[in-house]
Structure formats: structure tokens, C-alpha cells
């Protein structure tokens, strides 16, 4: 099972050209595992970084299994337990999700920002 574990020393990294070099610069001692949440064809690079495909999990790239990595889809068996754990971590200040708000009249701008694939956290439309 893959649950939430606080203080894992996780650093989000931008996808795209130079991914391996960016990660290697952040972790010169090596990388134990990788989690792909964007699905931009980085699975092969992530496998190369961690050394073993079974240490790579993707939530967004269904082709991950073709390279021996894990692809998780659907609802986990213990969703209530996971949500309870996440809620407790959030209440304890262990999870910080940046929120960017847009007035409803700027919904198109929010959509454009979302389409870039580089939004950190959540976008919220404010309805007055």
C-alpha cells in the first residue's frame, strides 16, 4: 500500500528536457524511488535515476508498465483510511497545498493556466 508518510524529503521537479540532470543535482547521493504525477513520458528517465523499474510509480502514464514500472489507477482499497491520514497530516500542518484563486469572470485565464501543466497546488474559481 502506498500511504502518506510525512517528512520523506520529497522535492517536486519540473518535467521536460534536463530532468535527469535536475534530479541528479538535487540528489547527488542518488534517488531511492520516483513518483510520476504528470505523465509526460519521463518513466524511462526515472527508471534510469532510481536503477530499478519497480521503484517507479506513475499516477498519470499508463505506459509505465510497459517499462516495468507501476501504474496506479482507480480507487485504492483503503480510500477512507488514506483520506483520514491525509486530513490528519493537513491539520498538523504537514501538508501545504498552494491555492490560486480566480474570479469567475476570469475562468478562461484559469483554464489557460491549468493547460500549461505547471500549476502548483489547486486552482479555485470564486463565485460571488
Q: How far is CA 49 from CA 15, 35, 107, in A?
A: 14, 12, 39
Note the pLDDT of residue 7: 55
* Percentage of the chain exceeding pLDDT 90: 38
Residue 13 in domain: no
Tally of domains within the chain = 2
Residue range(s) defining the domain that contains residue 91: 79-126
* pTM attached to this predicted model: 0.58
Mean pLDDT of 97-120: 88
Contact between 57 and 69 (Cβ < 8 Å): yes
Note the pLDDT of residue 8: 59
pLDDT at 1 over 70: no
Residue 114 in domain: yes
Residue 2 in domain: no
Same domain flag for 64 and 83: no
Helix, strand or coil for residue 126? strand
Give the ranges where 31-106 is alpha helix by DSSP (H).
Answer: 43-50, 79-91
Same domain flag for 83 and 121: yes
Q: How far is CA 7 from CA 10, 11, 78, 89, 104, in A?
A: 8, 11, 22, 11, 36
Same domain flag for 62 and 87: no
* Percentage of the chain exceeding pLDDT 70: 93
Q: Of residues 18 and 3, which shows the higher confidence score?
A: 18
Please return the burial class of 11, using the count of CB atoms within 10 Å of its CB with bins 0-12, 13-18 and 19+: exposed
Amino acid at each position: 500500500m502506498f500511504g502518506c508518510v510525512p517528512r520523506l524529503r520529497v522535492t517536486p521537479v519540473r518535467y521536460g528536457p534536463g530532468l535527469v540532470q535536475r534530479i541528479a543535482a538535487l540528489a547527488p547521493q542518488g534517488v531511492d524511488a520516483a513518483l510520476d504525477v504528470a505523465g509526460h513520458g519521463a518513466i524511462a528517465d526515472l527508471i534510469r535515476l532510481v536503477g530499478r523499474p519497480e521503484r517507479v510509480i506513475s499516477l498519470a502514464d499508463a505506459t509505465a508498465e510497459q517499462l516495468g514500472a507501476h501504474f496506479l489507477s482507480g480507487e485504492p482499497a483503503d480510500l477512507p483510511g488514506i483520506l483520514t491520514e491525509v486530513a490528519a497530516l493537513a491539520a498538523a500542518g504537514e501538508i501545504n497545498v498552494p491555492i490560486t484563486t480566480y474570479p469567475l469572470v476570469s475562468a478562461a485565464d484559469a483554464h489557460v493556466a491549468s493547460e500549461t501543466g505547471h500549476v502548483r497546488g489547486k486552482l479555485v474559481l470564486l463565485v460571488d
